[in-house]
Amino acid sequence: MTAIPQISPERLPELLQRMPKAELHIHIEGSLEPELIFELARRNAVSIPYSSVEELRKAYAFSNLQSFLDIYYAGASVLLQEQDFYDMAWAYLKRAQADNVLRAEIFFDPQTHTARGVAMETVVKGLHRACQDARGQLGVDAELILCFLRHLSEAEAFETLEQALPFRDKFIGVGLDSSEVGHPPEKFARVFAKCRQQGLHLVAHAGEEGPPAYVWAALDVLKVERIDHGVQSAKDPALMQRLAQQRIPLTVCPLSNLKLCVFPKLADHNLRQLLDAGLCATVNSDDPAYFGGYMNQNFSETFGALGLEARHAWQLAANSFEASFVDAATRRGYMDRLGAAFEQFA
Ligand SMILES: [Zn+2]
């Protein structure tokens, strides 16, 4: 590990803004802002049960998971054409650039769209074109990860994979999201085995609300390379030891955990504990339009609530590059830029 320059606490907020980072846990459908929902609703002549941007934004102060899902699906219903998916991804990628995100590995939920009659091709091509344009125009290196909705069946996941394989060159991995409890990783063992044969990277949500056993199963049965969330791992010392020893990354989402009451207050979040235990924990935004902020908002609020310091900032950024699915040369380039950013604050 390189020596981290001494940085005064007053300069920490600016450092968090300016430091280069990777985002590894962002659901693109969760980045839809009310303004864009209304614009797309008009463009596609879709009616939504909200009369104004203000009314919709007010509804974002949901009280439970179901009220979130109601709005989430109303929002997704305006996405019909390839350009709609492009515009959604482009809006996120611009926000990512503003937060000095160098690398974004973006989740998408094709089943949310194919269930409404939108073709897989429409979804993948629109999102992928935005990722390609981001590289040249925004300097953000973006890739896609297809997620299976775990509340749906194994058969539906297989069907989704079949629909997606013609576009195998447009996504780098698969994940598992949606309602965790009651849908253990084992349900998708055969689907993930097939994805593995295809050379896809494997990740899964586990240990957000679900028990440590789901994290073990994601590792041992699904054979994932990263755990999305994983904060419940702290309840299991043997699991913590394994995650630390094998440097298995956790993509932690503090503001999401706060909104969905995984922790009662941000000050109660266990991010510091995960870092102190030597885990490769990272900070991410999850569904930023719904959960109160993009990357830098997650960093600044979490650092404020937990009293984290510059060394934690360096560790989290370094972890995000270590955990990303890039080649070694690209990773070294990111680390050089991280070092240069810290030098400017020394
Ligand atoms: Zn998530």
Please check whether residue 233 lies inside any domain of the structure.
yes
Higher pLDDT, 195 or 8: 195
Residue 61 confidence (pLDDT): 77
pTM of the model: 0.96
Please check whether residue 290 lies inside any domain of the structure.
yes
Distance CA 307, CA 315 (A): 15
Average pLDDT (326-331) is 98
Q: What is the side-by-side order of every strand in the sheet holding 250-252?
A: 21-27, 101-108, 141-149, 173-177, 201-206, 226-229, 250-252, 281-283
The domain tally of the chain equals 1
69 falls in which pLDDT band (50, 70, 90)? confident
Average pLDDT (164-193) is 96
- 287 among the known binding-site residues? yes
| Percent of the chain surpassing pLDDT 70 | 98
Cα 121 to ligand 1 centre (Å) = 23
67 falls in which pLDDT band (50, 70, 90)? confident
Is residue 63 pLDDT above 70, yes or no? no
Is residue 232 pLDDT above 90, yes or no? yes
Measured distance between the N- and C-terminal CA atoms of the chain, rounded to whole angstroms: 17
Please check whether residue 275 lies inside any domain of the structure.
yes
Distance CA 4, CA 56 (A): 44
The segment with the largest mean pLDDT, out of 70-74, 113-117, 289-293, is 113-117
pLDDT digits (tens, 9 = 90+) for 270-285: 999 999 999 999 999 9
Query: Residue 207 is encoded by which pair of tokens?
Result: 């240990």
Least confident of 3-7, 287-291, 321-325: 3-7
189 falls in which pLDDT band (50, 70, 90)? very high
Is residue 195 pLDDT above 80, yes or no? yes
Distance CA 64, CA 7 (A): 40
Cα 149 to ligand 1 centre (Å) = 11
2 falls in which pLDDT band (50, 70, 90)? low
- 229 among the known binding-site residues? no
Is residue 91 pLDDT above 70, yes or no? yes
Average pLDDT (169-197) is 95
Please check whether residue 222 lies inside any domain of the structure.
yes
Residue 39 confidence (pLDDT): 96
Please check whether residue 66 lies inside any domain of the structure.
no
Cα 276 to ligand 1 centre (Å) = 24
Cα 252 to ligand 1 centre (Å) = 9
Average pLDDT (245-266) is 95
Distance CA 54, CA 59 (A): 9
- 141 among the known binding-site residues? no
Q: Which amino acid is at 309?
A: E
DSSP code for 150:
T
- Domain span including residue 305: 12-32+79-345
Please check whether residue 240 lies inside any domain of the structure.
yes
- 205 among the known binding-site residues? yes
Please check whether residue 166 lies inside any domain of the structure.
yes
Look at the block and give the residue holding tokens 């203000």: 54
Mean per-residue pLDDT over the chain, rounded: 95
Please check whether residue 41 lies inside any domain of the structure.
no
For position 124, which CATH number holds? 3.20.20.140
Residue 234 confidence (pLDDT): 98
63 three-state secondary structure = coil
Distance CA 43, CA 35 (A): 12
Residue 73 confidence (pLDDT): 82
pLDDT digits (tens, 9 = 90+) for 107-131: 999 999 999 999 999 999 999 999 9
65 falls in which pLDDT band (50, 70, 90)? low
| Residues designated catalytic | 208
Query: Residue 157 is encoded by which pair of tokens?
Result: 């996941």
Phi, psi of 283 (to 5 degrees): -110, 135
